[in-house]
Structure 1
Amino acid sequence: MDQIRRLAGFSVLRASGFSGIAILMVMMGTAHDAALCLRFGAGGFFALSLAMATYARFYHRRGRVEETEVWIMLPEADRPTKPVARTLIVAAMREQLAQKALWWLFAALGLWTASAVVAMTRG
């Protein structure tokens, strides 16, 4: 179970990391206006957090366990039977998706706060 949880965490971080890079690129494109840049980042990270929380909520509807990234990354010798693997992978992915969604939400709140501070100091 620990290996499945670790692989699920890696899978979620990899996927959300690419989304985070895309949001950072949008922020770099609006870097001429610091408050706007931070607002775009906050909105993007909030949207990412919401999408991940929603995906975590409905992840149990995933069809075949063989199509999951966690199953593919597991060495064949360590793979449990498919019904057991489905239960373990779904639980680990839901946990990791919810945890990383919370991380991105905190990043969004931090950027939103920074945006408000920048806007207030600018006058």
Structure 2
Amino acid sequence: MPTVVRFLLCFAALAAFSAVMGGALTAHLPDRFFAEGGRDMARQAIQMQMWHALAMIGIAVLMIQQGCRALISLSGCLMAVGTVLFSVGVALTAFWGIHPGPVAPTGGSLLMGAWLLLAVGVMRA
């Protein structure tokens, strides 16, 4: 199995695991553990994380079937980095009220870029 595929599958599994864990914490922690409006913010970030974990699994499967094409591989890697930045940025705000500058927006921009690269990569495949 190519290294990039192994990375994406491992990363996606860990992202899904932490999304399930975050979902449980968000559902069961008392309100005092969240900044104002943080519970809803955390739920949205967890949903985004889970959807992108599933997307990375799909990208890895595509690479297994079609070969590791550069744009598709890059889209998966950008998706991984974007997921981390977006999720961490939102979690810091949701739980502690810390606004870490452009971390979440940068992650979101990387996620959007990853989807565009995937579209271009699939069209060129």
Give the TM-score, by structure 1 length. Answer: 0.41
What TM-score, normalized to structure 2?
0.40
Bigger-Rg structure (1/2): 1
